[in-house]
Amino acid sequence: MKKDRNYLDIIIENRRIILVCMAIVYLFIVLDITLIDRTVGVRRHMLEPMWEVRQMLRSRQYTYWGWQIVGNCVMLLPLGIFLPALSMRFRSIQRTTAAGFLFSLFIELTQYITGRGLCELDDIIHNTFGAAVGVIIYIIVSRLAAEKEFEY
């Protein structure tokens, strides 16, 4: 007698396809937010590191600048999870962090070249940090899941 398949079984069987689709949607959203949905303007850049933190402390607008900083960290955090989930090559903190750095650099340089936003060193720093946090989360969850599976 054939066992009834439930949704969880289907999801587990199609895990890689689902992850690839989610990663593509995620990348499109990031590119839309950072490039596609912006109008062409003047080329601008801010290459002074940690200027946003100094601006936040000077202006005392902690909520606005805090969200700017946290938002940039969180933006590439999923990249740090998707890359190692999809490829063994990215199951190291160094490689995934480097990929996050390069993706962020691509976004910032494209923003500068096309005049679609402010090219910021801070964004690269915060995005790269977010990718690193993402891969660390992936590693921790993977190890916990492996330990849990080993118990059974």
> What pLDDT is stored for residue 11 in this prediction?
73
* CB-based contacts of 36-39 (< 8 A; 24+ apart in sequence): 38/111, 38/116, 38/117, 39/116
- Tell me the C-alpha distance between 62 and 60, whole Å: 5
**Tokens, residue 55:** 């601006």
Assign 4 a pLDDT band (cuts: 50, 70, 90): low
- Model's pTM, two decimal places? 0.87
Using the Cα atoms of residue 143, residue 76, residue 24 and residue 93 in order, give the sign of their dihedral: negative
Q: What is the average per-residue pLDDT within 66-75?
A: 95
Handedness of CA 10, 142, 91, 26 (dihedral sign): positive
